[in-house]
Structure 1
Amino acid sequence: MNATIRIDEAIFNNYPTFRRGIVIATQLQNQGHSESLENTLNEVISQASLHPIDLKTDPRITDWDEAHRQFGSNFNKFIPAHRNLLKRVQKPGTSIPFINKVVAIMNINSIRDVIPVGGDDLTSAGTLLELRYSNGNERFTPIGLPETIENPDVGEVIYVAADSGEVMCRRWNWRNGHKTRITETTQVIVMNIDALGENSEERAITTRNSVAEMLAKFCHAHVQTTLLSPENPFYQLEN
């Protein structure tokens, strides 16, 4: 599969500390259950409950709140996914379901490292994936609502399959699309690990490498990684 993943120059101009760790996983085996992964997920949730962070002051959260404010999104209404996840699991006695192995890996790393981790089925996405500002004409079908079609706001940061105009994630890291959702039958994925602020590159790389190792171990995937930055704004996948 040939695909290009690109960050628009305007995003880096407005958010110069932004870094996106990328993991491409092929020959993925996402079927079935993993007791080890489920135990790790439950342990990470338990630790988050025992040692909660302050969602109003921790820069790993507030840097994203400010980023959303900057492009005109109300982060209290459209809560960034990792903020929402931490808010949920920091409550005592909370559990989250084991959906599939890849989703568990996403949740484990996002909770543990307090960082946005998202993924898409690459075979459903197209050949050009872009993080850019919306022109308002793109189409978005929210995950779990396959009959719903929305248009993003003009100027909203979106992750979009440029070939089709299908939005894979709205408001940067708020909500994923239905078409490229990861299921048990998914075999090729692209995972995004986003970081802003202090030590963003180090944090993106650390979590990226953890995600890659877990995909190889638990899903027997062939993985390749890269980092998108102002100096390296795109990645060409040739498979």
Structure 2
Amino acid sequence: MRFSYSSFMQQAFPDRSTAILRTTNIYSDLDVTAAVAGLTARATQRLTEKTEGVFVEIQAWRRAYSAMGLKPTQYRCASEALLRRLRKDGALPSLHPLIDLCNAASAAYAVPVAVFDLDHVAGDLCVRQADGSERYHAFSGAIENPDIGEVIFADDQGNAHARRWANRQSRLSAVSHTTSKALIVAEALHEKSARDVDALSLELSDILSKAIGTLPETALLLTPDADYCTQEVKGVGHVG
């Protein structure tokens, strides 16, 4: 499968940096407890110094949401929502080991991290503007149609696997106890985004390789027109 950004996204957000990890041998009792605790502790420590809204990583996403015509404090990127919850509740929810790990990494780096069950993604995945015909499976059970022009993660069958870019993922490709292979996507827009998504990718790759015994396939997309294809990138690859 290929992961890419549309020409609109390439032009509108040229400073975007993305890390991709494709991993197999996922199971529901994956032991990443220590790693999750360590990442969460790092996020908690940072929150003792300042609130998430002033983090440079979050500020960059707020500017992007404003540029898309969205109110940033109404539609928060995933990392801001997680940090806000951690600050208020003192903990992050536990859902599935892989989700817990990605959420903790997202909070530690203040960078949105999406994880998709690849068995429920049809063909390629593209971050693009919606035409309004796509289908989004909400966790409530409802089927929604994204707004025309809204940034979504769309597959070849018109399924929207995320709405408002890094705001909300779909139930359709959510990781569950039946998930065996997954695609992890970390995106950042701030000045040091390339450095940070690289570090996040390396840390997640190390944690997962120790937990599942297999090194994830990884890539960095550091130029606006860079994409990723599982047929072309083997092991560790840097694009851009």
If the length of structure 1 is used for normalisation, what is the TM-score?
0.89
Find the residue that maps to 2:91 and give its secondary structure: coil
Give the Cα separation in 1 of the matches to 2:142 and 2:224: 38
Extract unaligned runs of 5+ from structure 2: 235-240
The letter of the residue matching 1:111 is A
Aligned 8 A contact 1:133 1:154 in 2: yes
Unmatched 5+ stretches in structure 1: none
Instruction: Verify the 8 A CA contact 2:136 2:170 in the aligned structure 1.
Output: yes
Q: CA deviation at 1:97?
A: 2.5
Is 2:43–2:109's contact at 8 Å kept on the other side of the alignment?
A: no
CA distances 1:1-36 after superposition (whole Å, capped 9, x unpaired): xx1111112112111100111001012233255542
Q: Which amino acid aligns with 1:160?
A: A
1:78-93, aligned counterparts within 5 Å? 78-91=75-88
> Is the contact between residue 28 and residue 177 of structure 2 (CA under 8 Å) also seen in structure 1?
yes
Using the alignment, how far apart are the partners of 1:184 and 1:107 within structure 2? 17
CA shift, 1:43, in A, is: 2.6
Say yes or no: does 1:168 pair with 2:161: yes
1:138 aligns with 2:134: yes
Q: Kindly provide the amino acid, as one letter, of the partner of residue 34 in structure 2.
A: S
What residue is the counterpart of 1:58 in the other structure? 55
Asked if the contact 1:101–1:219 (Cα under 8 Å) also holds between the matched residues in 2, the reply is no
Count of paired positions: 232
SS at match of 1:13: helix
Cα distance between partner residues in 1 of 2:207 and 2:112:
17
**Residue 54 to residue 100, structure 1, CA distance change in 2 (3 Å):** closer
Letter in structure 1 aligned against 2:106: S
* Distance apart, 1:52 and its partner CA: 3.3
Counting only pairs closer than 5 Å after superposition, residues 13-162 of structure 1 correspond to structure 2 as: 13-31=11-29, 34-40=32-38, 42-44=40-42, 46-55=44-53, 57-91=54-88, 94-142=90-138, 144-145=139-140, 147-161=141-155
Q: Which amino acid aligns with 2:159?
A: E
Q: Separation in 2 of the partners of 1:169 and 1:17?
A: 21
Q: Percent identity?
A: 23
Q: TM-score with structure 2 length normalisation?
A: 0.88
Q: Which has the higher contact order (CA 8 A, sep 6+)?
A: 1
RMSD: 2.0
Which deviates more from structure 2 when the two are superposed, residues 216-225 or residues 97-106? 216-225
